Structure 1
Amino acid sequence: MPYKRIYSLLFILFLGTTNLLFSQTKDSLKKQTSILTQEATQLMKAENFEKSLILSRQALSQALILKDDNLIAMCYNTIAANFDQLAEFEKALFYYKKGVIYANRTNNNHLKNWLNNNLGNIYCFDKKEYAKGIYYYKKSLEYSTKIADSSEILLTKLNITWAYFDISKYDLGSPYLNYINKYHKKHGDETTAVALNMLNGMYYSHINNNRKANSYFEKAIKLGQKGSEESDLSFAHQEYSKFLFKTKSFKKAYQHLNTYNELTAKINNEEKLKKINVVGINLEIDEYKREIDNIKTEYKTSHQLLLEKQSKNKIISIIIISILILIIVFSYLYFQNNQLKQTNKLKDIESKIQENIITASINGQEMERKKIASFLHDNISALLSSAAMHLTIFSTKNQTNNEEITKTKAILIQTHYKIRDLSHQLLPSLLARFGLFYALNDLCEINSNSNIHFDYSSNVTSETRYNEDYEMKMYFIISELLNNITKHSDASEAKLSLKEIDNQLHILVKDNGKGFEIKQYNTIEGFGLNQIKARINTMDGKIKIISKPNEGTSVKIIAPIEYKAKPTV
């Protein structure tokens, strides 16, 4: 992706200076928020994405309390940049857009410039929606012009040129290229030299000046081999191979195409390693967690000693009374309930059978979700990408711009992105990567809009992980409850609260909507409450629903926690 890293580094430097100013003029909370934001950005630069996301979330919460639009926009930009680096482009797009909303309320043209540039990068080079991407690049150019930063103007025009040339609109991109050629020596640097030479090669290839085109492409590759971004070097090999196919230098074209494929595979492998490394919890978080656990243990120990002293004298009397009561109750039940025993037993069996059927059905759906999501992402999506690339090579090799081939390429690319989005919908990637609590926090924020706000609270840290199947079950149960509120409640406010007490997860989902009669909920179709109740029962949990018309609804769930199995030595 061109120059997202350059803008990220510029953004880090800007955070350092602005946070210093804030620390001199604002109160302690604002200082703390600025420091958290700066640390989160540095962690992102060091590719410690998990802790960067945790700190940026904390900073965002404090910035929202302060109602500081500038800090809020910075936090959203940092969160989006983390997802961008992790190739979670839909998430990055969501948070970049939120950042733009708050940045537009400020006079911070630097921040507006970076946010719009990052949006342009995602639309052009990840989603292939060039019209939207160029729109945001031009917005970025407006702000870089306002702040009169020549280097940023040059970088933005370079991205606009690249976008136009990528869709073969050379007449629209060439004025920007002329500007870059004129001012690159003065305002550019080595990081942009590879792209500039590649773009010149593309332009001269377009106007059939093969000698100049070949010279520029070779210069781009030579500069790229000296230490430029591997992504820029891979693009240079790709475009050079297209030019060589055009000039019928097939052997050399295949050599550069092979180099492009090797570099692309290497870059993809590095991105996969980033995602794998995010799963590990670093030592600093472990140390912080241990300190909190020690405090909790000391408190529980002292509190427990007091309770033991108070209860010692009661234990014997309680045991005796309990035994007497049990004897009396047993005798009564033995004679009075003998006739009802068989009937109740049959009802229990029928109820358990129904619950097991529902649970088996839901388990099967979840397993199929996993299989389908994995198959779509790892197989179908990869095959579509490969098909699009081969079609591109074919059209280049045969020097044809056939309309049907162009449409077929566009359909393959569009299908690839739709399949990737469907894969993420079937199995949320945040749930697998960061765990239940982080995914639920994100779910509340995404579902919040101008009509309803979902408030999230938890006494459990977001990095806590449970058994994978347990996390998936609880996520889809809570997701269904939130979906019911959005669709049926007409509520303006809702709350999701989670607490871990005595190895049990206590969940409260509450809204201020229109409510309903509890006696009728078994017959209400579409709510899924019976399925949720059956699922909780099979987990040896409890569920309680409290609702009245025009008084809102509360759903309380208590479920035993299934922790991760400890690895065997």
Structure 2
Amino acid sequence: MYYQRIYYLLLALFISVTNLVYAQTENSLHTKTTALTQEATRLMRAENYEKSLILSRHALSKAISLKDNNLIALSYNTIAANFDQLAEYEKALFYYKKGLVYANKTNNNHLKNWIHNNLGNIYCFDKKEYSKGIYHYKESLEYSIKSADSSEIFLTKLNITWAYFDINKFSLGLPYLNYINKYHKKHSDETTIVALKMLNGMYYSHLNKTEKATFYFEHAIKLGEEGNEKSDLSFAYQEYSKFLFKTNHFKEAYEYLKAYNELTAKINNEDKLKKLNVAGINLEIDEYKREIDNIKTEYKTQHQILLEKQSKNKLYSITIISILLLIIVFFYLYFQNNKLKQKNKLKNIESKIQENIITASINGQEIERKKIAAFLHDNISALLSSAALHLSVFSTKNKNNSEEITKTKAILIQAHYKIRDLSHQLLPSLLARFGLFFALNDLCEMNSNSTIHFEYSSSVSNETRYNEDYEMRMYFIISELLNNIIKHSEANKAKLSLKEVNSQLRIVVSDNGKGFEINQFQTIEGFGLNQIKARINTMNGKFKIISKPKEGTRIEIIVPIEYAV
């Protein structure tokens, strides 16, 4: 009995110590994750987006393991904010919304206010969907009121005022303008004071009070030119230009419109990705075309030689048959054997030609993707924006606010954003900026949903970079494999694994779907599995499919790495 009591006392002591160690370990992990999130936010504000995204994703994985909704929401918000700064607005929306789901499970009103405000910014000023944007601003305002943060209330009301004024609903925006005018001395800084002056100018322009409107616009422009806030200054140039056209000061209006265009172009140039070398692309396309022509010529020559050889063999056979029956039988067997070898040789040549043609065709498509994406982003999108602006100027100058002009402006703006989104789909900017592994990690995250989850696993650092064309080829090959899983496998789990071994990249894509019979595997049109296999062969790689019905599918790829020069 005595020893039993000692046993239970020691057991209780062991459990207490274990729980204490576990609690300390969990607290340490929580502290480290919080520090990672803070450092990722600092790097984002310093415009070091690559490192910020890497740290924020690392923080996200740790926060998920901790099941800490607050840290998960903060991590998603930081990831979204990085994409927001990189003008990847669809990705930013995706991660903001994910962050909001977890933020709503917490009592962190500051974070909810922050995420709703960021969503409002994207919908109002990037996508021009003001009803959605104003909804999120008002949600943000509710949470800032709950947290009793006067500075957050001030900034949110400033955004609501701007949104209403931007769609000419001045009566709805006026109460918010009165509030920010009343409290601006307490909360204004370099950024908000320029915006505040411009909003007052817009309001007095709406009331046709020329003197007051002029005072506020000129004051906003002066403050903006003295400071470093280029975005608000460009809006001030634009709104003052509209006001000057309205008051028939056309020369000055064109001067400020010119200043707006120049500053906007400068802002866009600062954020622009590296331009594609169009001349180099054209040369590369020509090289692929010449390669295809050479392959076809070589094939025709070899085919002709084989046909001539067949004719000679037939002639010899006929001659020998006429001499001896036994010799006829012998040469007949020899001829049939030789003919079979020739057919196999022709098939091998045709297969090699087909693989090279597929590779050259796909490489040409990828080059055209780059060229078209750059052309859409740098030319068509800019032209649509300019057309919308000039149409606005025309309607202001002629005091013509007809429904047709309003709808035309809306169509031009919508076309501008659709073209920009199309250019990002043709050439993922994340791949060009941060490399293959970071883009694939993001691809798995984007494709995961309530129906299927893609697990990403890599022993290679996300910061590793290869040859640009090699990265693009591997990205689209893996993207096609993931699309096949989504469309055909009926799986709910899939995994992408990557590792480097002896200067080779080893890729495994697997799922737990319905699978298929390998012997029923047929060539299909388009960039399917046979085309992927052909492309891997031309890269001196290996391609293997392992699948059975109801046992899922596993695809293994080994490709020599093409390192960046």
TM-score normalised to the size of structure 1?
0.81
Residue 175 of structure 2 corresponds to which residue in structure 1? 175
- Pairwise CA RMSD of aligned residues? 2.1
1:87-102 aligned within 5 A: 87-102=87-102
Task: State the shift of 1:78 in Å.
Answer: 1.1
Task: State the shift of 1:90 in Å.
Answer: 1.8
Task: State the shift of 1:185 in Å.
Answer: 2.8
1:562 equivalent in alignment to 2:553:
no
1:375 equivalent in alignment to 2:370:
no
Matched position secondary structure for 1:133: helix
Conserved 8 A contact 1:512-1:551 = yes
Matched position secondary structure for 2:474: helix
Matched position secondary structure for 1:543: strand
Structure 1 residues 205, 87: CA separation in 2 closer, same or farther (over 3 Å shift)?
Answer: same
Deviation sequence 1:272-323 (CA, Å, 0-9, x none): 38999xxxxxxxxxxxxxxxxxxxxxxxxxxxxxxxxxxxxxxxxxxxxxxx
Q: 2:97 is aligned with what amino acid?
A: K
Residue 256 of structure 2 corresponds to which residue in structure 1? 256
Residue 511 of structure 2 corresponds to which residue in structure 1? 511
CA distance in 2, matches of 1:210, 1:250: 15
Residue 411 of structure 1 corresponds to which residue in structure 2? 411
Conserved 8 A contact 1:47-1:274 = no
Residue 531 of structure 2 corresponds to which residue in structure 1? 531
Matched position secondary structure for 2:498: strand
Structure 1: 5+ residue stretches without partners:
1-22, 277-336
Matched position secondary structure for 2:451: coil
CA distance in 2, matches of 1:184, 1:25: 46
Residue 53 of structure 1 corresponds to which residue in structure 2? 53
Structure 1 residues 160, 255: CA separation in 2 closer, same or farther (over 3 Å shift)?
Answer: same
Conserved 8 A contact 2:157-2:180 = yes
Deviates more, 1:380-389 or 1:259-268: 259-268
1:437-456 aligned within 5 A: 437-456=437-456
Conserved 8 A contact 1:86-1:274 = no
Residue 16 of structure 2 corresponds to which residue in structure 1? none
In percent, how many aligned pairs have the same letter? 79
Conserved 8 A contact 2:191-2:232 = no
CA distance in 1, matches of 2:339, 2:235: 81
Deviates more, 1:116-125 or 1:221-230: 221-230
Conserved 8 A contact 1:547-1:554 = yes
Deviation sequence 1:96-127 (CA, Å, 0-9, x none): 11111111111111011011101111111111
Residue 361 of structure 1 corresponds to which residue in structure 2? 361
Residue 74 of structure 2 corresponds to which residue in structure 1? 74
Conserved 8 A contact 2:205-2:243 = yes
Matched position secondary structure for 1:563: coil
Conserved 8 A contact 2:444-2:456 = yes
1:129-168 aligned within 5 A: 129-168=129-168
Q: 1:553 is aligned with what amino acid?
A: T
Deviation sequence 1:14-48 (CA, Å, 0-9, x none): xxxxxxxxx99952222221121111111112111
The structure number with the bigger radius of gyration is 2
Matched position secondary structure for 2:500: strand
Q: 2:466 is aligned with what amino acid?
A: Y
Q: 2:196 is aligned with what amino acid?
A: L
Q: 2:221 is aligned with what amino acid?
A: I
Task: State the shift of 1:224 in Å.
Answer: 2.5
Q: 1:46 is aligned with what amino acid?
A: A
Task: State the shift of 1:216 in Å.
Answer: 1.8
Q: 1:51 is aligned with what amino acid?
A: K
CA distance in 2, matches of 1:544, 1:516: 14
Residue 466 of structure 2 corresponds to which residue in structure 1? 466
1:401 equivalent in alignment to 2:401:
yes
Residue 428 of structure 1 corresponds to which residue in structure 2? 428
Structure 2: 5+ residue stretches without partners:
1-22, 277-336
Structure 1 residues 189, 350: CA separation in 2 closer, same or farther (over 3 Å shift)?
Answer: closer
CA distance in 1, matches of 2:370, 2:222: 45
Residue 127 of structure 2 corresponds to which residue in structure 1? 127
Q: 1:354 is aligned with what amino acid?
A: Q
Residue 105 of structure 1 corresponds to which residue in structure 2? 105
CA distance in 1, matches of 2:517, 2:526: 15
Structure 1 residues 440, 190: CA separation in 2 closer, same or farther (over 3 Å shift)?
Answer: closer
Q: 1:242 is aligned with what amino acid?
A: K
Structure 1 residues 271, 363: CA separation in 2 closer, same or farther (over 3 Å shift)?
Answer: closer
Residue-pair matches, total: 483
Residue 224 of structure 1 corresponds to which residue in structure 2? 224
Residue 521 of structure 1 corresponds to which residue in structure 2? 521
Task: State the shift of 1:201 in Å.
Answer: 1.3
CA distance in 2, matches of 1:35, 1:216: 43
CA distance in 2, matches of 1:189, 1:224: 12
Q: Kindly indicate whether structure 1 or structure 2 has the higher relative contact order, using CA contacts under 8 Å at least 6 residues apart.
A: 1
TM-score normalised to the size of structure 2?
0.82
